[in-house]
Amino acid sequence: MSTVARKKSLIWDYLTTVDHKKIAILYLIAGGFFFLVGGLEALFIRIQLAKPNNDFLVGGLYNQVLTMHGTTMIFFAAMPLVFAMMNAVVPIQIGARDVAFPFLNALGFWLFFFGGVFLNCSWFLGGAPDAGWTSYASLSLESPGHGIDFYVLGLQISGFGTLIGGINFLVTIINMRAPGMTYMRMPMFTWATFVTSALILFAFPPLTVGLIFMMMDRLFGGNFYHPAAGGNTIIWEHLFWIFGHPEVYILVLPAFGIFSEIFATFSRKRLFGYSSMVFATVLIGFLGFMVWAHHMFTVGMGPIANAIFAVATMAIAVPTGIKIFNWLFTMWGGNIRFTTPMMYAVAFIPSFVMGGVTGVMNAAAAADYQYHDSYFVVAHFHYVIVGGVVFALLAGAHYWWPKMFGKMLNETLGKITFWLFFIGFHLTFFIQHFLGLMGMPRRVFTYLPGQGFETGNMISTVGAFFMAAATIVLLINVIVTSVKGQKAEADAWGDGRTLEWAVASPPPEYNFAQTPLVRGLDAYWIEKMEGKKGLTPAEPLGDIHMPNSSILPFVISLGLFIAAFGFMYRTEASWGLAVGIIGLLITLGSMFLRSVIDDHGFHIHKEEVLEAEKGVKA
């Protein structure tokens, strides 16, 4: 129970870590990698569509790339990058030393990671899934090969990870807040994480059930979606969208949270209308569950169902509008600094509003019959997901980079990234609204000349290359600054308002030598305004209790990864069933070990804390 066993190799350290700050880095690297993969897939799509009758990616292969682009970007790029931000920041923002369940935090990461690796193994093992990221049963049941099985099993594994992460953050935020950190003093990003986690908790189980049904149908002879045996493919659509629509808010609420922090920091003003912001976040989270069938207006649910879901959908524009005005009023009269994160934040407002407006257009059920399955829809959801979520992730990465890694990213390169990405984004997707209204269908791999689609598609492809260039500049920025960047102060931007800016960059493993006393909203800002150097402690200096690291989360996830291969090849390979069972035994055995081996953690002694703190100050 001491600190002896902490000299480990870097790789072993990261394989076994339960520290939320290191898990954040793991999420950032893995999510960043999948972002690059999904981005490459997007480029391939745009190259194929650059001119009519192109033969770069034809037919089935195009379907695979298109499916994997959507699936990868949503589940394996955007979600983990959101989790990277949450892990890096939320425990520190509430004045906690770690999350409520450090072990489960690591387990959540490794489940996500192995799920993503499993899905991408499909490229090398006979072909990727090809039924779109929504994988409607009418298509996916007919898909030959194992592509869809990779999708079904990979998403189940990573879905468990996400669910675990959601529960972990809920408990962390409810139970682990520092003294004085009341709910209505929580930073906006913490609030967003809280509501998002609740959405994850209630949205992921329907997806799991839908995936289980599809797994039963494809691998075990089930009949959930087979009309010939009484099944119904619409059940998949309902289950998928009962998950899928809240998923949109799972992604965008943290984005709103990130921007709320950035607007307040770089306007050097407290967030305008904080309590209405909280109210709007909770309301969006609630309404997010009431609108799933707006993805299914053309299924034939009838005018009453369509009308109800249309009105509920339009209602979401109200709390979102409240947020937009609050951000504008936060900047109003503020002392604004146009740093890289702030430029993303400012650019986000008009971009996201456009996505919102086309969202209300889509919500009008009668009009949706015209937009449905056209590039208009593609343009709409890229405006909200890229203009909202990706902008936020890029902004958050620049904003919290010094906190995570202790080095500032280069501002000049950051601004080049921003302009390239901003221009590329609008170049790619703005024109797609019109392509859609002119009748270009989505998910189709080519089009004929002379239909008026040539110019628009070429512009769109050029824009995609701008975004690719932006990503390359960002990578150069990361490499250059990690080699010779300027070391970051604790309050890296000089205008930090929340608790994470009061601790060193990067923070010590225990975050706070003494748990802070929170005396109001923007706790660190209050202390600074009163001329104090640090936070007011809520406890005397003492030994700090820390969780033990463990390899078990890695092994539990690896077991499911192995089991998935076994069950997938069960019917055609003699080793299939055996491998499947061995994989499950590895997982259950590791869970058994976790249950029977006591884990009391260890203590960092007061003297070591004092020494570490001295090192930071010097």
Cα–Cα distances (Å) from 131 to 36, 60, 138, 318, in that order, read 22, 10, 9, 34
* Nearer Cβ to another protein (86/239): 239
How many residues bind another protein (CB under 8 A)? The answer is: 41
* Among the listed residues 57, 137, 199, 242, the single contact to another protein using CB under 8 A: 242
Task: Write down the least CB distance from residue 242 to another protein, Å.
Answer: 8
Asked whether 2 and 602 are in contact (CB, 8 A), the reply is yes
We find the least distance from the C-beta atom of residue 253 to another protein, in angstroms, to be: 18
Applying CB under 8 A, among 7, 484, 533, 600 the residue interacting with another protein is 600
Nearer of residues 279 and 592 to another protein, judged by Cβ = 592
For another protein, which residue of 4, 5, 596, 618 counts as binding (CB under 8 A)? 596
Candidate segments 225-233, 251-259, 326-334, 361-369, binder of another protein by CB under 8 A: 225-233
- Which residue, among 22, 158, 181, 11, has the nearest Cα to 546 in the 3D structure? 22
Which residue in 188, 355, 356 sits closest to 282, CA to CA? 188
Asked if residue 325 binds another protein (CB under 8 A), the reply is: no
What is d(CA 549, CA 22) in angstroms, rounded to the nearest whole number?
11
CB of residue 171 to another protein, shortest distance in Å: 4
Of 193 and 410, which has the nearer Cβ to another protein?
Answer: 193
CB of 498 to another protein, least distance (A): 23
Nearer to another protein, 51 or 226 (CB): 226
Asked whether the beta carbons of 451 and 441 are under 8 A apart, the reply is no
Stretch near another protein under the rule CB under 8 A, chosen from 263-271, 365-373, 512-520, 595-603: 595-603
Using alpha carbons, select from 546, 545, 523 the residue that is nearest to residue 536. 523
Residues 55, 56, 62, CA angle at the centre, nearest 5°? Answer: 95
Smallest gap from residue 585 Cβ to another protein (A) = 13
Q: What minimum distance in Å lies between the beta carbon of 118 and another protein? A: 22
Q: What DSSP element (H or E) covers 152?
A: helix 147-175
Least distance between another protein and beta carbon 308 (Å): 18
Residue 230 in contact with another protein, rule: CB under 8 A = yes
Instruction: State how far the Cα of 248 lies from the Cα of 73, in Å rounded to an integer.
Output: 12
SS (H, E, C) 289-323: CCCHHHHHHHHCCCHHHHHHHHHHHHHCHHHHHHH
- Cβ(467)–Cβ(425) under 8 Å? yes
Q: Which is nearer to another protein, 206 or 508 (CB)?
A: 206
Distance between CA atoms of 535 and 517, rounded to whole angstroms?
7
CB of 540 to another protein, least distance (A): 17
Distance CA 252, CA 334 (A): 25
Residue 206 structure tokens: 């329907």
221 binds another protein (CB under 8 A): yes
Closest approach of Cβ 186 to another protein, in Å? Answer: 17
Nearer to another protein among residue 52 and residue 180 (C-beta) = 180
* CB closer to another protein, 2 vs 455: 2
Smallest distance, another protein to C-beta of residue 212, A: 7
- Is the distance from CB of 150 to CB of 219 less than 8 angstroms? no
Q: Contact 163/204 with Cβ under 8 angstroms?
A: yes
In 495-575, which residue ranges form alpha helices assigned H by DSSP?
523-529, 552-568
Is the Cβ of residue 307 or residue 588 nearer to another protein in the bound state?
A: 588
DSSP state letter for 390: I
Is 216 one of the binding residues for another protein (CB under 8 A)?
yes
Residues with Cβ within 8 Å of residue 499, at least 6 apart in sequence: 92, 93, 94, 95, 178, 187, 516, 518, 523, 524, 535
CB count, 10 Å around CB of 190?
A: 26
Of 134 and 232, nearer to another protein (C-beta) is 232
**Is 595 one of the binding residues for another protein (CB under 8 A)?**
yes
Q: Which residues, numbered 154-213, are part of the site for another protein (CB under 8 A)?
A: 163, 167-168, 170-171, 174-176, 201-202, 204-206, 208-210, 212-213
Question: What's the closest the beta carbon of residue 205 comes to another protein, in angstroms?
Answer: 4
Give min distance, CB of 231 to another protein, in A: 4
In 494-584, beta strands by DSSP E: 544-546
**Does the N-terminal peptide bond of residue 506 adopt cis geometry, omega within 30 degrees of 0?**
yes
**In this chain, which of 58, 184, 229, 475 binds another protein, going by CB under 8 A?**
229
Residue 492's identity, in one-letter code, is: A
H or E segment and range at residue 253: helix 233-267
Q: Give φ, ψ of 546 to 5 degrees.
A: -130, 150
Nearer to another protein, 246 or 507 (CB): 246
Nearest to another protein of 138, 486 (CB atom)? 138
Nearest distance in Å: CB 389, another protein: 24
What character string, x for contact with another protein (CB under 8 A) and - otherwise, covers 484-503? --------------------
Nearer to another protein by C-beta: 532 or 545? 545
The amino acid occupying position 113 is F
> Interface with another protein includes 226 (CB under 8 A)?
yes
Q: How many residues are recorded in the chain?
A: 618
Which range in 49-57, 214-222, 290-298, 398-406 contacts another protein by CB under 8 A? 214-222
Q: Least distance in Å: CB of 295 to another protein? A: 17
- Cα Rg of the chain (Å, integer): 24
Best CA proximity match to 218, nearest among 282, 143, 288: 143
Nearer to another protein, 95 or 396 (CB): 95
For residue 232, state whether it binds another protein (rule: CB under 8 A). yes
- Cβ closer to another protein: 222 or 534? 222
Give yes or no for a contact between 179 and 517, defined as CB atoms under 8 angstroms apart: yes
Provide, rounded to whole angstroms, the least separation between the CB of residue 91 and another protein. Answer: 13
Q: State which amino acid sits at residue 249.
A: Y
538 binds another protein (CB under 8 A): no
Enter the DSSP assignment of 50.
Answer: S
What is the Cα–Cα distance from 17 to 23, expressed in whole angstroms?
A: 7
Name which of residues 281 to 310 contact another protein (CB under 8 A): none
Single out the residue of 549, 339, 474, 559 nearest to residue 28, CA to CA: 474
User: Which parts of 67-126 interact with another protein (CB under 8 A)?
Assistant: 100-101
Q: How far is the CB of 167 from another protein (least distance, A)?
A: 5
Interacting residues toward another protein by CB under 8 A: 100-101, 163, 167-168, 170-171, 174-176, 201-202, 204-206, 208-210, 212-213, 216-217, 220-224, 226, 228-232, 235, 239, 242, 592, 595-596, 598, 600
